[in-house]
Structure 1
Amino acid sequence: MLKPLALSLALVLAGCASDTPDSSLPEGVAYLGSNLSQQVEVTIPYEKFELDNGLTLILHKDSSDPLVHVDVTYHVGSAREELGKSGFAHFFEHMMFQGSENVADEQHFQLVTESGGTLNGTTNSDRTNYFETVPANQLEKMLWLEADRMGFLLPAVTEEAFEVQRATVKNERGQRVDNQPYGRLNELVSQALYPKGHPYSWPVIGWMEELDNGNVDDLRAFFKRWYGPNNATLTIGGDFDRDQVLQWVVKYFGGLPRGPEVAPLAKAPASLAADRYLTLEDKVHLPLIYLSFPTVYARHQDEAALDLLAEILGGGKTSIFYKNLVKSGLAVQAGVGHPCRELACEFTMYALANPGKMPQLAEIVKVIRDSVDEFERRGVLADDLKKAQVGHEATTIFGLQSVRGKVSSLAHNQTFFGEPDLLQPDLERYRNVTAEDVMRVFNTYIKDKHAVIMSVVPQGQVALAAAPANYTAPGPVPKDQLSHADKVAQAKIEDDFDRSQVPGSGPAPQLKVPGLWQQRLANGIEVIGTLSDETPTTEIMIALDGGQRLTSAAEAGLAQLTATMMAESTESYSTEEIALELEKLGSTISVSASGYRTYVNVSALTANLDATLALLQERLFKPAFSDADFQRVKVQQLQGLQHQANDPGWLANTAWSELLYGDNSAGRPVGGTLESVQALTLEQVKAFYKEQFRAGNASIVTVSNLGQDELLPKLQWLGQWQGEGSRWAPLMAMPELAGPKIYLLDKPGAAQSVIKIGRRGVPFDALGDYFKSGLMNYPLGGAFNSRINLNLREDKGYTYGARSSFRGGPELGSFVAGASVRADATAASVKEFISEIQHFAAEGMTEQELAFMRASVTQSDALSFETPGQKARFLGKLQRYNLPKDFVEQQGTLIRNISLEELNRLAAEQLDLSRMAILVVGDKSSVEPSLRELGYDIVTLTL
């Protein structure tokens, strides 16, 4: 069924590349081949080279957008660390942004950001990658930056930088692991699944005790061992001149010396002689059970069949797990997966128990085992295999919609398998899986096999665990048993150019704003669309004005509950039947609610669009709204709210909305409160559906490889939709925000505190004070290297990240500055926030900051319209706010001409601290005394 789609995709992608490679190459570069003339269904065109120092270079030319994506992947992750020295690979993800011999501290962020680009780095167990997406004219500068930190990082690895980033890593762990419900699950399961000393037995972020035990010489030695060019792959995709890029790569990378040779690690799947039970008491509401079975390793011959087995057992609403656990009401969520890594894979099963129906995890485990037995008796159905295979192919195609997606695929496959483009072999190995293969791997790896069985239970409720714990994880290696590395010096590198000179930029690329078409259907619904022919896919977004704004505060959660019910049964299909039909097409239809809108989003392979739209018509116009669906969905939403009440970020957002907007619908979470959702009835859902799902509320955005003449006839049935637009009730009076005043919400035992400081502001506009205020805020808290982030993250080490922003909708807006900070730095962080805001309001931005903002915001437009999703959001904004088609150009003119005086006037007006509230969500007993020392009134909140 997908063959024609894949063929059309190959034509689109291959059309961006030349047919044969040029034989003339710069000295020091060897040509290793390409797939430019390969005739297969799906391919990412590339050329592959190797420099004399061992650096692998992959080029993927794509001139469809005026941008480039640069990725440097080092074949080093936490698996390469020494026992007792965990976290070093992730630590280097941070250190590699802190400057190098010719790049000053924070200059990397500054140069990329002012170029209009984005950047980041990620670390996993097997590799670390660094990447930038920038306008095409900035490519040389990116190569200079990446080469400098590959060859000249050690001078920047100072004791001071080491300590700052060690604090940042601790804050990251506090925010993402220790302060998150279930945050420690994966690292504890890995300790039990893999024996001590196995490369996967410690977490990527590391044990903090071991990070404390390391020193700067250990870190420098780790860099010297693993970050040489011969252990790296440089992948460049986008709009560039091939010959020029080769010259730049040789210039900046060619002189860097090889590092030590790197031998591949042996594959090391885990094995268990018996079930291992673990129990974690956590600040959670929903008990969780998690089973992990050892299997194979990435690209093992059984990997594909295991992936499809996982999808059949627990993927979506057509799976056995969903039927027996979620639809039965025993669990709020359940699923099965098969995550694979270079050395080992795991087959995982989980369920979040519904404590109102079956909190005992031993009983949930029994249902899981019964479900596995049911699968064995039933076997693999034809539809099982079809939906899983089509789903894999659709995911592959949708993943190729951005240059970053294609570059990431090339870099990954080259790093681990030595072959950049594996799309076609991957499609074939999943297509070739048979029902017999699925049953064989089930019998080999799952049936009657041992697993790590992890119970996560609310604090003080160990009796809910599946079984008593029978495994104790080993502790970190003691400090006195560690040996430290000798000092490592920076190697001397001779160049025939001055590396301290920042390369210039080429001519600014021509901005490619999507061309669009507009037309109204017979009932007046406006359709706005654009052509996007890089992949054979179609995105349709139906936006319905209203959302939670159509409800009272007492009905909070009704819009979302109705949206969730729209994903259940219809007049002609059960929930499972319509889900199966969509899965067999590789399509999705999702319905979601927000504060001011309900959205219906459709993603489809274009060849399957007609069948997908038939299912959309069923879902949109014929929801069943059965009582059985309602009772189950309502319980899930209530349990979800109780689960979210343990998340400090959700608590902060909820309290913040109420502080700003009071008893208006905007003052309540879209998901509602326990009180409001408990009171909702099926009759209210039906009434809200009639109020919200009207033609008069609707507008449509399309992004497709079909043109207007082909696509619009497929949407004519929407022209028969009836109903006038809904009227919004007047807003109620807003709360007074005379300040500054601290509002404190207690989160006992919180490892970090969440801080929000701000006020109500102006609603959205594209060219007025709202837009200008965003420009004003950019150097204060809008960029990574803003004043607020550099202060709290880089200088003080209080947080993993701090920001400020202006947010605006159709009738309300706000300014908010915030961060999640170390609990012991709560008061100090509030003080620094206030100091930065007050100083900026009084003094404004500098001329240098104005120039930085202008360069960054203006050039970033080149990255704004690449993917179908980006195009849809652009068209949706244009349509929602009735903006002129050239509003992007008008914004560019405004940015170039706005004066420092006008921006600083806005700073004084918008950043008046006397009109702001300060919210702190944290452990009241530990943070309140130091907060009182700040001298502000403190009001204790409850939710």
Structure 2
Amino acid sequence: MRICFGFLFIILVLTFNACQEAEDFGNNEKVGFNIDFEKFTLDNGLQVILHVDRSDPVVAVALTAHVGSARESKGKTGFAHLFEHLLFLESENLGKGGLDKMSAKIGGSGANGSTSRDRTNYFQTVPKDALEKMIWAEADKLGYFINTVTEPVLAKEKQVVKNEKRQAVDNRPYGHVSYVIGKHLYPENHPYNWQVIGSLEDLQNANLDDVKSFFNRWYTPNNVTLTIAGDIDVAQTKVWVHKYFDEIKRGEEVEDIAKQPVALDRTKHLYYEDNFARLPQLTMTFPTVYQYHPDAYPLEVLASYLSEGKTAPLNQILVDQLQLSSNVSMYNYNSELAGELHLRIRAFEKTPLDQVMKGIETAFKDFEKTGISQADLERIKAVKETAFYTGLSSVLGKGFQLAQYEIFAGDPGYINEDVQNILAVTAMDVQRVYRKYIKDKPFVSTSFVPRGEVELILTGAEQADVIEEVIIDGAEETFNSNAQAEYQKTVSSFDRSMEPTYGEAPVMQVPKVWKERFSTGMELYGITNDEVPLVQLKLTIKGGLLLEKSNEKGISNLLAKMLLKGTEKKSTAELEIAAQKLGASLRSYSTNEAIIFEVTTLARNFQKTMDLIAELILHPRWCDTELSLLKRSIISRIQQESVNPNSIAANEFEKLVYGEGHLLAHNILGTEESIKGIYMEDLKAFYEKNIAPNISILQIVGDITRREVISSMDQFENHWSPKEVDFPAVDAPKGPEKSVVYFYNVPDAKQTALKFGNLAISAKNEDFYPVQIMNFRLGGGGFASDLTQVLRESKGYTYNIRSEFAGTEIPGTFSISSNVRSNVTYHSSRLIKRIMRKYGRRFSAEDLEITKSSMIKSNARAFETLNAKLNMLSNISNYGYSDDYINEREEIVKNITIDDIKDLAEKYINPDKMIYLLVGDAKTQMNKLEKLGFGKPILLNEVIN
């Protein structure tokens, strides 16, 4: 995937309206939910699915090819994923930059893709006036692309994909788990034996003929589905589809691959010493069934029941009783040919995994005795109903599911039938699949332990064979990314080089905001939206890290988590069950400036959900056992972050920017020492002093009215008293007078994490939105940005890079972040420095035109989802923006000039007064950085060996 490789799961768990009232279980009537669509097939075999949704002036276009890593062969792996990348770069009629270049100017969400074992997706959401352009571009990708793939193009993109693998697999904790499982669960000749990303060796060895042959075999109209969903004119859309796709030639017939479920003749135990892990992790994988198999549905319920929530058998034993871990994860993963059920436990530090295995066996035996109750079964289904509607809240989500059912179930209409498969699951089904696939059945286990702690592995485990890349200076092949490809253009019946014009401009409707201020001082901001029967809300209680004492670092986050651990009347388990019966998901966390509760619930259960939220905030449980478990869980997370290069970069950057002793220099999680030193009386004191309605804001969107929300607030209004909360003054530290280079050593890192920047401005500063405009072409505009075009597209040094201005009421930072191949650490840093220095001076009329076009046209997508509307309310309520600030921003974009951009760049981007932080292999990379001209790098942790 261009943002995160592997499998794009639009987890639209198809469930149902089990009841009108959450407690009324057992209603198995069919659901009256329906997604209308029209399907037709071109003469060349292209399947086309159209869905009309006029809720927003946007359209999602997705091209899905029925080809993934399963269509590859041993020794030539990673080709499908490689094409996911290549297809964005150039086509005969879009030219160099292809869809990426066009996406920037039309205000699209950004052309993106994903690859799985069985299919490759290419997708984007655009304003409705760009639909013909997208159809033209997608047709060019399918029928007028392969001639543009030349040796330099292939060489460069191989480097990008290899960087992606390093970032997602080689340079992160537990990154090789899937590889080890695949090699031992599936036989060598099974198409799931290798990973979607492929191997570095196979990618390096891929030649032009191999790549073109693969494309010509699989990327043909008769192996592709085109899905268009959104605010469309069906008749006109059909005309455009025929115009641009009809003459693309049909390919060789593609036969379905036979199902290939696997069975193990024995259990296999493997282990690996992980350079990036701090905690031992046990994963058990059982072979199961392919997707849409009748047993897939009870297996999904089984996994949820065994692992999710306080009453889950695995949680009760491993987390509560034995206290070996803070989290249990279990899920059923079904693919087209086979399936697998995964159970993963990341144990606490120094925990022998034999103890974990004994705990799992105990939990399984407990389940065998009791099974699953009808109440638990229906509770799980209610949760999945909410997940289903959430997944369908965007036109892209609907389009993805229609294509999924077309390709793998043979009928997009299955989207309106599949819910009944979950509806039909019984308690006996759940016990049956447990006995059939789990109980006493062989499995693959992986013990991933920190390097040097092999004594923690499962007894009898054998060392897994994992190929570790050796990074050598100058080892990568060179290429000329600027070379103009010479190729013969494919003949067409009309001039395809003419980009279609825009259609009728979309009319942007800014959602109507309603507000209320209660007598307690609590503020309410809301938007009514009835597209899906859901309500999403965010309750923000100001304070967070800002109110912490120096000896209580992390207490605000600890309190946020503690408040979800039961109430005076409900235990943790009872609170979870109460929420799940309502189809409600509850999440809490702390930030630098607030404690936040986020809730999604079924609209029909809104009042009961609000009563539950009031209960947990106003009447906490204060359970010592839960506090002890939480503290261990947070310490475990702190330990994990301490060895993850990206987490290290983020945490160390804040320390360097704000300086030792500054409030905002601290990790929101705290430290191991500070968390150990926080006790129940400390939490109660923090709660009593700092949790108050007069510093709270409720933001709410969904299928609910202002009157209904106000009437639901009685408990907050009558039982929550205002308090005088003392907020400390936050001084903005001075930035460095001269740039300084800092290095954090992670021995043998395959990549270097970069974080460059300085303190900038707050969200209330009049320049805050103008600097977002200025930053678009630097690093905020995705593939349209200079940083991406140079470091990824031209040099192949990185998988992704971005720059951003982050600010709230308090001044935030300007930063540039990336992960680069280890042996180009200095070269990448030098390039970034050079790009920053020249950015303002080189900013051109073309840059300004692209920036304006993208930022204005993208407003059509600004309010499509409930999350987007909630973000709008956050901006209005937190920073005092006007209700129609989106229109005000549009005027700023329209009126900004090149000179304005130059002035902003000069004012806020100075590469000679920045912090340059690098996290990587110091022994090979640190000393080279002195050539940046900012003196000898400062090592932040241990001395180099």
For the aligned pair, the TM-score class normalised by the smaller chain equals over 0.9
- The answer on 1:519 being equivalent to 2:516 is yes
Structure 1 match to 2:498: 501
2: CA distance between counterparts of 1:666 and 1:846? 37
- The answer on 1:301 being equivalent to 2:299 is no
Structure 2 match to 1:480: none
1: CA distance between counterparts of 2:755 and 2:574? 45
- Give the C-alpha shift of residue 819 in structure 1: 0.8
- The answer on 1:764 being equivalent to 2:763 is yes
In the alignment, residue 637 of structure 2 is paired with which amino acid? G
In the alignment, residue 593 of structure 1 is paired with which amino acid? S
| Mean CA deviation greater in 428-437 or 379-388 | 379-388
- Give the C-alpha shift of residue 550 in structure 1: 1.2
- The answer on 1:593 being equivalent to 2:595 is no
* 1:28-427 paired onto structure 2 within 5 Å: 41-118=32-109, 119-282=111-274, 283-328=276-321, 329-355=323-349, 359-427=351-419
Deviations 1:488-516 (A, max 9, x none): x9998543321011111113211121111
Q: Is the 8 A contact 2:544 2:594 kept in 1?
A: yes
* 1:691-706 paired onto structure 2 within 5 Å: 691-706=689-704
| Mean CA deviation greater in 546-555 or 749-758 | 546-555
Q: Is the 8 A contact 1:192 1:471 kept in 2?
A: no
| Mean CA deviation greater in 829-838 or 458-467 | 458-467
In the alignment, residue 335 of structure 2 is paired with which amino acid? R
1: CA distance between counterparts of 2:837 and 2:33? 56
Q: Is the 8 A contact 2:402 2:415 kept in 1?
A: no
- The answer on 1:643 being equivalent to 2:640 is yes
- Give the C-alpha shift of residue 98 in structure 1: 0.8
Secondary structure, counterpart of 2:494 in structure 1 = coil
1: CA distance between counterparts of 2:140 and 2:415? 33
Q: Is the 8 A contact 1:192 1:276 kept in 2?
A: yes
Q: Is the 8 A contact 1:154 1:490 kept in 2?
A: no
- Give the C-alpha shift of residue 715 in structure 1: 2.1
- Give the C-alpha shift of residue 466 in structure 1: 0.7
- Give the C-alpha shift of residue 139 in structure 1: 0.4
1:528 equivalent among 525, 530, 540: 525
In the alignment, residue 297 of structure 1 is paired with which amino acid? Y
2:548 equivalent among 524, 547, 551: 551
Q: Is the 8 A contact 1:521 1:718 kept in 2?
A: no
Cα distance change on mapping 1:7 and 1:695 into 2, 3 Å: closer
2: CA distance between counterparts of 1:61 and 1:692? 48
- TM-score between both structures, scaled by the size of structure 2: 0.92
- Give the C-alpha shift of residue 674 in structure 1: 2.2
1: CA distance between counterparts of 2:647 and 2:71? 36
2: CA distance between counterparts of 1:242 and 1:294? 44
Q: Is the 8 A contact 1:315 1:335 kept in 2?
A: yes
2:675 equivalent among 674, 677, 690: 677
Structure 2 match to 1:626: 623
Structure 2 match to 1:19: none
1: CA distance between counterparts of 2:145 and 2:20? 45
Structure 1 match to 2:573: 576
2: CA distance between counterparts of 1:167 and 1:828? 15
1: CA distance between counterparts of 2:20 and 2:495? 48
Cα distance change on mapping 1:430 and 1:936 into 2, 3 Å: same
2: CA distance between counterparts of 1:189 and 1:133? 35
Q: Is the 8 A contact 1:757 1:818 kept in 2?
A: yes
2: CA distance between counterparts of 1:882 and 1:470? 60
1: CA distance between counterparts of 2:189 and 2:921? 37
- Give the C-alpha shift of residue 581 in structure 1: 1.6
2: CA distance between counterparts of 1:561 and 1:475? 40
Deviations 1:647-683 (A, max 9, x none): 1011000110011112222111111122332322222
- Give the C-alpha shift of residue 852 in structure 1: 0.5
- Give the C-alpha shift of residue 940 in structure 1: 1.5
1: CA distance between counterparts of 2:684 and 2:700? 28
1: CA distance between counterparts of 2:233 and 2:514? 32
Secondary structure, counterpart of 1:615 in structure 2 = helix
Q: Is the 8 A contact 1:568 1:574 kept in 2?
A: yes
Unaligned segments of structure 1, at least 5 residues: 9-38, 477-488
- The answer on 1:737 being equivalent to 2:736 is yes
Cα distance change on mapping 1:934 and 1:602 into 2, 3 Å: closer
Structure 1 match to 2:817: 818
Cα distance change on mapping 1:280 and 1:617 into 2, 3 Å: same
* 1:531-930 paired onto structure 2 within 5 Å: 531-662=528-659, 663-720=661-718, 721-724=720-723, 726-732=725-731, 734=733, 736-765=735-764, 768-783=766-781, 784-841=783-840, 843-930=841-928
In the alignment, residue 338 of structure 1 is paired with which amino acid? N
2: CA distance between counterparts of 1:259 and 1:606? 48
Measured on the aligned residues, the alpha-carbon RMSD in Å equals 1.9
- Give the C-alpha shift of residue 607 in structure 1: 1.4
In the alignment, residue 539 of structure 1 is paired with which amino acid? Q
Secondary structure, counterpart of 1:70 in structure 2 = strand
2: CA distance between counterparts of 1:208 and 1:149? 26
Q: Is the 8 A contact 2:521 2:695 kept in 1?
A: no
Report how many residues are paired.
896
Q: Is the 8 A contact 1:409 1:421 kept in 2?
A: no
Q: Is the 8 A contact 1:521 1:716 kept in 2?
A: no
- Give the C-alpha shift of residue 724 in structure 1: 2.9
- Give the C-alpha shift of residue 704 in structure 1: 2.1
Q: Is the 8 A contact 2:762 2:768 kept in 1?
A: yes
Deviations 1:503-557 (A, max 9, x none): 1111321112111111222323221111110111111211111111111444321
In the alignment, residue 105 of structure 2 is paired with which amino acid? E
2: CA distance between counterparts of 1:524 and 1:446? 54
- Give the C-alpha shift of residue 393 in structure 1: 2.1
Cα distance change on mapping 1:5 and 1:112 into 2, 3 Å: farther
Cα distance change on mapping 1:647 and 1:4 into 2, 3 Å: closer
2: CA distance between counterparts of 1:311 and 1:135? 38
2: CA distance between counterparts of 1:108 and 1:745? 38
Q: Is the 8 A contact 1:528 1:700 kept in 2?
A: yes
Cα distance change on mapping 1:588 and 1:474 into 2, 3 Å: closer
- TM-score between both structures, scaled by the size of structure 1: 0.93
2: CA distance between counterparts of 1:830 and 1:475? 28
Unaligned segments of structure 2, at least 5 residues: 1-14, 22-29, 469-485
- Give the C-alpha shift of residue 818 in structure 1: 2.0
Q: Is the 8 A contact 2:735 2:759 kept in 1?
A: no
2: CA distance between counterparts of 1:3 and 1:176? 35
2: CA distance between counterparts of 1:7 and 1:461? 53
Structure 2 match to 1:18: none
1: CA distance between counterparts of 2:301 and 2:710? 36
- Give the C-alpha shift of residue 908 in structure 1: 1.0
2: CA distance between counterparts of 1:441 and 1:825? 51
- Give the C-alpha shift of residue 561 in structure 1: 0.7
- Give the C-alpha shift of residue 347 in structure 1: 1.4
Deviations 1:581-639 (A, max 9, x none): 21222111221111111111221101122222222122111111221111111111111
Q: Is the 8 A contact 1:524 1:719 kept in 2?
A: no
- Give the C-alpha shift of residue 473 in structure 1: 5.7
In the alignment, residue 330 of structure 1 is paired with which amino acid? L
